Structure 1
Amino acid sequence: MSHFFSTRSWIVRSNTQTQAQMRLFCFPFAGGGASTYQSWQRYLPEKVEICAVQLPGRENRMREKPYQEITPLVEALKQELNPYLDLPFAFFGHSLGALISFELARHLRRDHQIEPQHLFLSACRAPQFFADIAPLHALPQPALIAELRRLEGTPEDVLQNQDLMRMIVPMLRADFSVFENYLYYPEEPLSCPITAFAGQQDQRAPAEMVAWWREQTTSKFTMHTLPGKHFFINEARESLLALVRADL
């Protein structure tokens, strides 16, 4: 049975696969942490090593200041991932994580002339449509909690726990700021294949806007719509991972 451990604060790895031929870096949604991907190793071939990305401000990095803008975050990630790019690699990101993985892929191409073997982008509208996102980061706390409840990604007992919410709301606001302050600059499409996932009832990232990721690659583009709302990554996990496994 695989156990999860951290070799560096940014990267949390399933027990290091000695026979790993590829690494899959997994980036969290707003408010999420590396533990989201804790069980994923057992669904994927042993040759693929799961490397979950732990951003500052959550879980075992709760005391650190979270990033509020994408460029400094991606610059930091580029440095932290560098020692792990000795094997072929792919990126998976859900919601905020999809945006981070896309921008990181563009930065790596620009600065190091390398790209992921594959990009898996989940529950995230294509960047051309970010200007239309309703801003959450500056909402008063009751309205923010109502929105979190509607998104169904935060357990109700957490939403009702005032002490816990006092700890995590600043990190959530910072994560939403990364999303909502993002400015898209067109570049040449990536040359790696992109697989996009959308939730059938997801209003924040509707399937018709997720489908426009096809413009961001000159390679193969595949789109899958799965049952659920914005957090179908939980409800439809096995279906999603079967599709990831097939592509890898």
Structure 2
Amino acid sequence: MTSKLHSWFVPANINSHANLRLFCFPYAGGGASIYREWQKHFPKNIEVCAVQLPGRESRGLESPIHSLAQIVNAIAEEIQPLLAMPFAFFGHSMGALIAFETARQLTRKYKRIPDHLFVSGRSAPHLTHRYRKLHLLPDDELKNELRQLNGTPDAVLQNNELMDLLLPRLRADFEVCETYTYSVDMPIHCPITAYGGLDDHAVSMESLAAWKEHTSYHADLKMFEGDHFFLHNEQQKLAQDVGSMLQTAKALQSVSVR
């Protein structure tokens, strides 16, 4: 069980001294290392656990998963031993979608609800998307699309051997997003905070604000400087905002208990 947990969640310290876990979900093509520096921006009572999907980094020899439902079902099962304490979810882009559907699955199947859902760089799931089917494009066209998205360094795009390793993972992730179908369900009973980049032309403020439709609690919208991958340049501010909101919520809970 320990090895399995450590493959899905980095790190996965079941005996942690923290009193809240923040699970962080990667964007398409990304791995747990996206959130490698996040822990230093959080107090010790909050443990950052990055989700490591099959087919990347430490799990590079595994086949990537092509279905959102399969990813969510697997995470919902594997995460159980780590839910002995309060928890929250953060996800960027594809990660926001996975975090949202995992939260719904945990609510439906296990009656477990995150303390807070943070969604970043992703339109609300019920909105209709007219994206091109990137996962079906020939390699050269897909590389051009990746260059336009500005999330893959040119040095990587020009390295054919490296791209041969990365493209199957990217195709799988694009397929996860492009074949997703939203199903109506009860709103999640936890706060939702949506984050966006002011220069992200693919995800508008209006589509971020629409996340309020998916909570029976309350929703916030916060914008940062940058494009779709603002979470890198604004990492410290973003992480500190997440930590501040979680700490405030814990303090309020403590007061209410007293």
Cα distance in 2 for residues equivalent to 1:86 and 1:16: 9
Aligned partner of 2:161: which letter?
D
Of 50, 62, 65, the match for 1:64: 62
Report the Cα distance in structure 1 between the residues aligned to 2:41 and 2:20, rounded to whole angstroms. Answer: 15
Structure 2 spans left out of the alignment, 5+ residues: 247-258
Structure 1 residues 168 and 135: CA distance shift in structure 2, 3 A: same
The letter for the 1-side match of 2:54 is P
Q: Which protein has the bigger helix share?
A: 2
User: Aligned to 1:29, what secondary structure does the other structure show?
Assistant: coil
Deviation at 1:18, TM superposition (A): 4.0
Q: 1:32-80: per-residue Cα shift (whole Å, max 9, x none)?
A: 0000111100101110001111000101111111111111111111111
**Which deviates more from structure 2 when the two are superposed, residues 138-147 or residues 193-202?**
138-147
Q: In structure 2, what is the equivalent of residue 45 of structure 1? A: 43
Shift of 1:206: 2.0
- C-alpha deviation, 1:107, in angstroms: 0.5
Q: Percent identity?
A: 46
Deviates more, 1:146-155 or 1:212-221: 146-155
Match of 2:84 in 1: 86
1:30-179 correspondence to structure 2 within 5 Å: 30-179=28-177
Aligned to 2:229: 231
CA offsets 1:107-140 (integer angstroms, 9 cap, x no match)? 0111011110000000001011243233211112
- Please tell me the root mean square deviation across aligned C-alpha atoms, in Å: 1.7
User: Using a 3 Å threshold, how does the CA distance of structure 1 residues 55 and 143 change in structure 2: closer, same or farther?
Assistant: same
Aligned residue among 179, 182, 191 for 1:181 = 179
TM-score for both structures, normalised by structure 1: 0.94
Look up the equivalent residue of 1:167 and give its one-letter code.
L
- Measure the CA separation in 1 of the matches of 2:53 and 2:17: 27
SS in 1 for 2:79: helix
Deviations 1:182-230 (A, max 9, x none): 0001111111000000111112222221110010001120101111111
Which of residues 203, 206, 217 is equivalent to 2:204? 206
CA contact (8 A) 1:27 1:94 kept: yes
Count residues in correspondence: 244
Asked whether the equivalents of residues 14 and 49 of structure 1 are also in contact (C-alpha less than 8 Å), the reply is no
CA distance, structure 2, for counterparts of residue 8 and residue 191 of structure 1? 29
Question: Corresponding residue for 1:243?
Answer: 241
Structure 1 contact 130–182 (Cα < 8 Å) conserved: no
Cα 1:188–1:15, aligned 2, differ >3 Å: closer, same or farther? Answer: closer
- Structure 1: which 4+ aligned runs deviate by more than 3 Å? 14-18
Q: CA deviation at 1:31?
A: 0.3
CA contact (8 A) 2:5 2:78 kept: no
Partner SS for 2:180:
coil
